[in-house]
């Protein structure tokens, strides 16, 4: 594969980072919306799994959400940021529920922190997007200049 082809294919990196930035901004808005507009409910934690190995660090839980109207629903395999997972080691949790939202259930104790994490992820991916865009732009410009020089 020629360097020119690789330079052109490198445009996928900024495009991917743009998609990641948009996703994290959307996630931050949806988390915040659920925290603001959601209904306060309580959840019974049926499984809490925290993996502290070097190669795998994660927190995952299953819960049964009990709504104020008496209805309930199950959320399984809810992944949480490892750094704040210790804050939800309990048998019951307060949650905010907004039916139909992309972030339908948000644990009240860590909701604001999750919003901040999503915004910081968006900022970091935006910085990466800008850096790779500039790098790929000038790389392609250099390849075009080199092609013109070789043709002359």
pLDDT over 90 percentage in the chain: 73
Enter the pTM of the model: 0.84
Identify which has the larger pLDDT, 147 or 93. 93
Quickly state the pLDDT bin for 26 (edges 50, 70, 90).
Answer: very high
| The pLDDT of residue 140 is above 80 | yes
Say how far apart CA 111 and CA 9 lie, in whole Å: 38
On average, the pLDDT of the chain sits at 92
18-30 burial: b if 16+ Cβ within 10 Å, else e: bebbeebbebbeb
Question: In the prediction, which pLDDT does 98 show?
Answer: 96
Point out which residues pair with 52 in neighbouring strands.
Answer: 57
């Amino acid at each position: 594969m020629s360097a020119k082809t690789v330079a052109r294919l490198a445009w996928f990196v900024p495009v991917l980072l743009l998609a990641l930035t948009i996703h994290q901004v959307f996630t931050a808005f949806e988390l915040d919306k659920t925290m603001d507009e959601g209904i306060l409910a309580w959840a019974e934690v049926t499984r809490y799994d925290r993996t502290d190995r070097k190669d795998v660090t994660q927190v995952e839980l299953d819960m049964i959400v009990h709504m104020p109207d008496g209805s309930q629903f199950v959320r399984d395999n809810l992944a949480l940021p490892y750094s704040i997972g210790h804050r939800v080691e309990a048998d019951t949790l307060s949650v905010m529920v907004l039916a139909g939202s992309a972030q339908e259930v948000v644990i009240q104790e860590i909701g604001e922190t999750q919003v901040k994490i999503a915004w910081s992820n968006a900022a970091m991916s935006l910085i990466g997007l800008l850096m790779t865009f500039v790098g790929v732009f000038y790389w392609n410009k250099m390849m075009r200049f080199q092609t013109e020089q070789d043709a002359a």
